[in-house]
Each structure stands twice: as structure tokens, then as C-alpha cells.
Amino acid sequence: MIRDDLDIWDRSEMEPRIRHILERTARLRHTGPYRPKTNAEVTAMLTRFFAAHDMTDIVIADVERMSGGASKEQFAFTLSHGAKEAQGERLVLRMDPLEAIAQTCRGREGEIQVAMAGHVPVAPVRWFDADGDLLGQPAVILGFVDGVTQPSDGDGRAVSGMGGHLGSLADRLAPQYVDALAKTHRFDWSRAHLRYFQAPRAHSRQAAIWQVNWWSGVWWDCLVEPVPAITLAERWLRENAPVCDRPVLVHGDLRMGNFLFEEPSGRFTAVLDWELAHIGDYHEDIAWTMQKLFGSWGDDGTFLVSGLLPRNAFIERYQAASGNVIEPERLRYYEILNAYKCAVMDLGQAMRATIAGNNHQEVVLSWLGSAGAVFLSHMIQLIRES
């Protein structure tokens, strides 16, 4: 049953919080360039933040810049509060530079991880400052979780999780990965009282069109150089938007590099990077994780989804674990949407942030930006096949 009077070209059809984030990005872009924060600046910001939470008897120690991620500026630090907490707690500050490869909301990231605790392994959320009212920049503060994203005996050459290999741990990681996806999609978001999220209508094309409007909004706002294939894909995505009967929680970026595990057991300790989470079609997550750039090849030359297991085995296990059926045509739509999204991030948002000098690691953004053509090739091939 289709309950849909949606105008596929109505660019204002967008989740309100996403519109807020995109408008804020455009408004603040010209206040750059952004300078990476020093440890002393971070300590001062945190001190002000905790004072605003009536936590004055604190010590912030061992502030340490973290690597990883192409998006957020991250620092680990130890917080001691009051005499009885002499040892303190190790925490992670994830905050927005002025612009990154994806402009997202720390309120959503914090809120969804609070909601998912107990369902899948996540980092504990201690505080978040959705609009940077207290810290000066939007941020989320998480409990530090032990683990690695790649085996420590690997070559460690992956950038933002791409180009890595999980080696012999893949067999132990694969079931946990499928389980995390299935549990995310089975999560009952309607009872979670999410303040920063809105759900698209069921039995409607709104789930797809919200995504198209989000990313085409980013593209036109950031445009550096026209790419006709990206424009053609936007039109195709609007004209072929599928109906989503039952919107689910979509992680949005679950792939190699975005889960932490212990060594040598391979036990999952946290599913990371919930910043792209939204309510939508589960095919979107499945298509995302199956992208070639996020996988690797086994010794026998078989492509491994997220470096874990072959495509057909992955689909089979996901269907069994989630009870969701993967429809090939819908999957193809979301494969095109995801390739489009990645091309927009690489050739649009990342380039705009780099040109403006608005990030803390432009050298990473221009490295990742050079992968834009890989996504374009894939997207064109999929459109042709459609």
C-alpha cells in the first residue's frame, strides 16, 4: 500500500535536524580557517564545560590527541572529580572542526548511542553538547573503550578503515558484525523517545527522498567543480526512489574501521561512528557495507564484505539474523545512493572543507577525496545495469 503524495523534486523534504546542521555549516563556513586545538585549549574548553555542569572540583589530565576518523577532532583525557575519584576515568572528546567530510550532529550521535546501550556494544556516552553551547564546538564525550579496528600485527596502512585486512580474526568477527547490523535494524526506535531524530513516513518514498535531499543539498552547497555524472545520479535517484514500508534504525556507516574488537579474542567492544545514523530503509546499511572500497580480498581472491565474509554468505546470514528479506532491486537503488553519497562527501564536502582550510586534517580529506572517482565508476556501472 502506498501512502504517498510526495513531490520527488521538493528539496525542502528533509529531516529537520539535518536541515539545521546543513544550514549551520553554510552559515559558519566563512568564520574559518580552522586551527587544530592544542592540548591546553582542550583542557580549558573542558574545564569551562564541566564548570557549567557544576563540576568544579575536577582535574583534567593526560590529554592526548587521537588519530582515526576523517571527520571529528578527537582527544583522550582523564577526568577526576572530587577526592574520592583520585584515579579518574579515561574519556574521549569527539568534537566538530568547522567542516569535515560529513557534517553531522553530535546530539544525534550521543542520543542514539545512549539508546543502543544494552542492544549492541557501544561506547558509554557521558555528555554531549549538540550545538556547542558550552564547549564552543559541538561535541560528544564518551567513555574510553579498549580495542583495535585492525589487527595490530597488520600493516596498519588503512586510512579511515579503508584498505585494511582483518586476517585470521575475520571468522570470529563476522558473526558479531552481522548480529550488530541485525540488532540495529530490529531496534524499536519508536519507543526510544529520540529528540534529535524524526522518522520518514512508512509506505512512502520519503525515506529515500530525505536521503537524496540531504546529500544533494550538500553537493550543491559545496560545489567546487561540476560532475555531470553526480547530477545525473541525483535525477535517477529521485525518479527511481523506492517506497519504504517499515523504516528502521540505520547505522549509516557500519563497515571495516568502525568497530572495535579485543585481541586476541576478537570480541566486539564497540560499534563506532553513529554520526550518520537515521531512520530509513535497512537496504541502505546492507548496500553501504558491501561497497568495494570498504571491503578486502581473501587469499583466494574472493571479495569479502567489510573484510569479513563473501557477499552471498553475508546476505544469507543477515537475512537469517534479522528476519529481513533483501530485495535485489531495492538493494541496487541503495548501492547507487551510497556511491552517490560517498562521491558527494569526497568530491564535494571534503573538497570544500579543504579549500576553506576548515578542518584539522586537510591532508586526510584530500587523500580520501581522491577516491571520489572510484565511487563514480561504481555508481555509473550500477546506473547502466539498472
Partner 1 sequence: MLPSIDLRIANIIKALEQVVQPALAPRERLARDQVNLCIGHLRMIMEQWRWAVAFEARSLDAMIALADNILPSVEIVWHDELASALDRGWWVDRQDLAAVEKAIVALGGVIDRIILGEDGKYPLTDAVRQAVLDYGEAQAARERAWFAGTGLDPDRAELSSIAAMMDAGVVR
Nearest distance, CB of residue 6 and partner 1, angstroms = 13
Can residue 246 be called a binding residue for partner 1 (CB under 8 A)?
no
Contacting range for partner 1; rule: CB under 8 A; set: 103-111, 175-183, 257-265, 366-374: 366-374
Contacting range for partner 1; rule: CB under 8 A; set: 102-110, 207-215, 274-282, 376-384: 376-384
Sign of CA dihedral 290, 294, 298, 301: positive
Cβ proximity to partner 1, 17 vs 360, nearer residue? 360
* 346 secondary structure, DSSP code: I
Contacting range for partner 1; rule: CB under 8 A; set: 96-104, 128-136, 154-162, 261-269: 154-162
Sole binder of partner 1 in the list 41, 64, 85, 329 (CB under 8 A): 64
Q: In sequence order, which residues have a C-beta less than 8 Å from that of residue 97 and are 6 or more positions away?
A: 34, 36, 72, 73, 137, 353, 358, 359, 360
Cβ proximity to partner 1, 155 vs 329, nearer residue? 155
Distance of CA 321 to the CA centre of its chain: 23
Q: Residue 345: helix, strand or coil by DSSP?
A: helix
Sole binder of partner 1 in the list 65, 183, 203, 267 (CB under 8 A): 65
Can residue 28 be called a binding residue for partner 1 (CB under 8 A)?
no
Distance CA(134)–CA(44), nearest Å, equals 12
Whether 285 and 212 have beta carbons less than 8 Å apart is answered as no
First vs last C-alpha separation in the chain = 24
Cβ proximity to partner 1, 244 vs 379, nearer residue? 379
Question: Per CB under 8 A, which of residues 207..226 are in contact with partner 1?
Answer: 225-226
Contacting range for partner 1; rule: CB under 8 A; set: 37-45, 133-141, 233-241, 247-255: 233-241
Of the candidates 86, 88, 90, 67, which has an alpha carbon nearest to the alpha carbon of residue 77?
A: 90
Sole binder of partner 1 in the list 183, 203, 267, 292 (CB under 8 A): 292
Distance CA(82)–CA(12), nearest Å, equals 49
Sole binder of partner 1 in the list 234, 273, 275, 335 (CB under 8 A): 234
Residue 60's beta-bridge partner residues?
79
Cβ proximity to partner 1, 55 vs 373, nearer residue? 373
Whether 174 and 309 have beta carbons less than 8 Å apart is answered as yes
Nearest distance, CB of residue 357 and partner 1, angstroms = 15
Cβ proximity to partner 1, 277 vs 356, nearer residue? 356
Nearest distance, CB of residue 355 and partner 1, angstroms = 12
Nearest distance, CB of residue 297 and partner 1, angstroms = 8
Cβ proximity to partner 1, 28 vs 373, nearer residue? 373
Nearest distance, CB of residue 280 and partner 1, angstroms = 23
Cβ proximity to partner 1, 11 vs 246, nearer residue? 11
Cell (9 digits) for 270: 564497540
Angle between helices 311-322 and 170-186 (to 10 degrees): 40
Of the candidates 364, 368, 360, which has an alpha carbon nearest to the alpha carbon of residue 94?
A: 360
Of the candidates 289, 274, 282, 204, which has an alpha carbon nearest to the alpha carbon of residue 245?
A: 204
Whether 378 and 292 have beta carbons less than 8 Å apart is answered as yes
Can residue 300 be called a binding residue for partner 1 (CB under 8 A)?
no
Sole binder of partner 1 in the list 27, 301, 384, 385 (CB under 8 A): 384
Sole binder of partner 1 in the list 35, 53, 157, 195 (CB under 8 A): 157
Binding residues for partner 1, how many (CB under 8 A)? 43
Distance CA(372)–CA(340), nearest Å, equals 9
Distance CA(298)–CA(213), nearest Å, equals 37
Element (H, E) at 229: helix 228-239
Query: Which residues are near partner 1 by CB under 8 A?
Result: 8-9, 11, 64-67, 157, 159, 162-163, 225-229, 231-232, 234-235, 238-239, 292-293, 295, 297, 361, 363-364, 366-368, 370-374, 376-377, 380-381, 383-384
